Amino acid sequence: MEKEEIESFQQFILDKSKNGQKANILALVGSGLSVSSGLHTYGNNSDLASNVSWRNYSSIDLATPDAFETNPGLVWLFYAYRRHLALLATPNNGHKILADLSNLTSNLNFLTITQNMDGLHERVHHNSDSLLEFHGSLFEVICTNFNCNYRSFNFNDPLTPSLDVTKYIDSKTMELPKIENISQLPLCPICGTLLRPGVIWFGEALPLYLIDKADEFIIDYNIDILLIIGTSHSIWPTSSYIDLIKNQGGKIAVFNTIRDLELEKLNSTTKVWQFIGDCATTLPEIFNPILINWKNSQ
């Protein structure tokens, strides 16, 4: 990373938060942030849900309401596997920086919109009021009975004996367990109906309240900096926020492993910083001096 670009970015943030004013920052986060925590991206796609590939099953086999209705056992085996891997993962320094920023309410207005479902933001104590999980959470379960509103978060592993991941985690040597009865899967403790993972599948709309919260933040605060972290920003609605913030006069900072050539084209009218490398390394390198400055000024 070029020293001049780093210093330019840091000075911009610090200037925005001088004289009792707050900097306004929106972070768009994709699964590239969690790679250093040991969570790979499926199908080499940084926006995980859009190109699932697991044991030769495609996204149509695993990540749609129809797939769950047709074969809930297979879908639950896949999501139990992902829960297990997420629980084995450890939040990295990139997650920690975002958590620190979310809790500095005296210095900035901050919101993270994450496309990740791995729960790593919560485990590093990201401010829950400043976190929107657009694709849901691996650790939420929801009753499929429309007349029952049961939903809960839990970190049980396995969720049921039949979803014991140790029996099939090695895809080369272990066959998937046979799920022959719905009773082998997670059931609602209230009505006994089958539970589903609390994630957003293809064909399902994002919860309107999440979109509303994101829109309200962008409208209420004139965004100074849009952080694009570990994502290709290709999925709606996160892709639309670039134009919204650009039109507000905001700047853009990219934290990714490759240079974003499309955003680079904006540089003639909108300042775009690109910090190339592992997000778990580049985020602390850029933001730690800013955090130290704010701490020393208090």
Please return the burial class of 47, using the count of CB atoms within 10 Å of its CB with bins 0-12, 13-18 and 19+: buried
Are 96 and 228 in a shared domain? yes
Give the domain range for residue 189: 50-88+136-199
Residue 58 lies in a domain: yes
Same domain as 146, residue 131: no
Residues 160 and 81 in one domain: yes
User: Looking at the structure, do residues 225 and 290 belong to the same domain, yes or no?
Assistant: yes
- Is 194 found in the same domain as 143? yes
Catalytic residue, from 84, 95, 121, 135: name it.
135
What CATH code is carried by the domain that includes residue 106? 3.40.50.1220
Position 251 in a domain: yes
End-of-domain residue from the set 164, 180, 199: 199
In a domain, 117, yes or no: yes
- 20 with 166, same domain: the answer is no
Domain boundary among 157, 182, 199: 199
Does residue 44 sit within a domain? Answer: no
CATH code of 61's domain:
3.30.1600.10
Judge whether 4 lies within some domain.
yes
H/E stretch holding 210 reads: helix 208-220
Residues 124 and 255 in one domain: yes
Is 45 inside a domain boundary? no
Per the rule left: phi > 0, alpha: psi between -120 and 50, beta: everything else, 247 is alpha
Indicate whether 59 belongs to any domain: yes
User: Which two tokens mark 164?
Assistant: 């014991």
129/228 same-domain check = yes
Binding-site positions read 143, 148, 188, 191
What does residue 279 show for φ and ψ, rounded to 5 degrees? -55, -30
Same domain, 11 and 105: yes
The pLDDT of residue 138: 97
Residues 143 and 271 in one domain: no
Q: What is the pLDDT along the chain (298 residues), one digit of tens a residue?
A: 688 999 999 999 999 888 778 999 999 999 999 999 999 754 433 333 445 678 889 888 999 999 999 999 999 999 999 999 999 999 999 999 999 999 999 899 999 999 999 999 999 999 999 999 999 999 999 999 999 999 999 999 999 999 999 999 887 788 999 999 999 999 999 999 999 999 999 999 999 999 999 999 999 999 999 999 999 877 777 778 998 999 999 999 999 999 988 888 887 789 999 999 999 999 999 999 999 998 887 6
Whether 171 and 110 share a structural domain: no
Burial 189-209 (b: 16+ CB within 10 A, else e): eeeebbbbbbbbbeeeebeee
pLDDT at 54: 87
- Say what the pTM is: 0.92
What is the pLDDT, as a whole number, of residue 238?
A: 72
Q: What is the pLDDT of residue 18?
A: 83
Q: For the chain, what is the domain count?
A: 2
Residues comprising the binding site for Zn(2+)?
Answer: 143, 148, 188, 191
Q: Does one domain contain both 19 and 150?
A: no
Q: Is residue 262 part of a domain?
A: yes
Residue 287: closest CA among 134, 110, 42: 110
Give the pLDDT of residue 1. Answer: 66
135 is catalytic: yes
Phi, psi of 265 (to 5 degrees): -65, -20
